[in-house]
Amino acid sequence: MIRDEIKAAQISAMKAREPERTAAIRLILAAIKNRDIELRTAAAPVDDDAVVREVLQKMAKQRRESIEMFDAGGRKELADVERHELAVIDSFMPQQMDEESAQAAIAAIVAETGASSVKDMGKVMALVKARHAAEMDMSRASGLVKAALAG
């Protein structure tokens, strides 16, 4: 389980006296714990790895946005901190699809659904998210789906 990998990484980072990595892993564990608390009221049990992946993807997206803003604002030192945290977060995320594989997967879903215009984007994105949420960034997938339906 991904959660166990993160906990083991925290212990090894602490033993290796890597304060930046330890701090980043603590942020990840805190975000996961917050999500666990939110899900306590959920009626159906949720897959643990899916919850952890969701938290990691959200954190990675936040870091990317922060990096862009800090770079635009000339705050290199803050952008570097965010980059380091993003690298730690990415180390726990599943391998992402490359551009070619993502396009092929989207093309298959477009063909399967019979989507022909941008109006069909919702049903295509629903299937993309259901099948490839773990290995594909949905913001990037959205652009690829739009391009596939427009072309």
Q: Indicate whether this model's pTM tops 0.85.
A: no
Residues 105 and 85 in one domain: no
Q: Where is the domain boundary, 77, 92, 107?
A: 92
Residues 16 and 58 in one domain: yes
Residues 49 and 21 in one domain: yes
- What tens digit of pLDDT does each residue of 91-135 get? 998 787 788 888 888 888 888 888 777 787 888 888 888 888 777
CATH number at residue 107: 1.10.10
- What tens digit of pLDDT does each residue of 67-101 get? 999 999 999 999 999 999 999 998 998 787 788 88
Q: Which long-range contacts (CB under 8 A, 24 or more apart) does 141-147 make?
A: 141/102, 141/106, 144/102, 144/103, 144/106, 145/106, 145/110, 145/121, 146/118, 146/121
Q: Which residue range forms the structural domain that includes residue 43?
A: 2-92
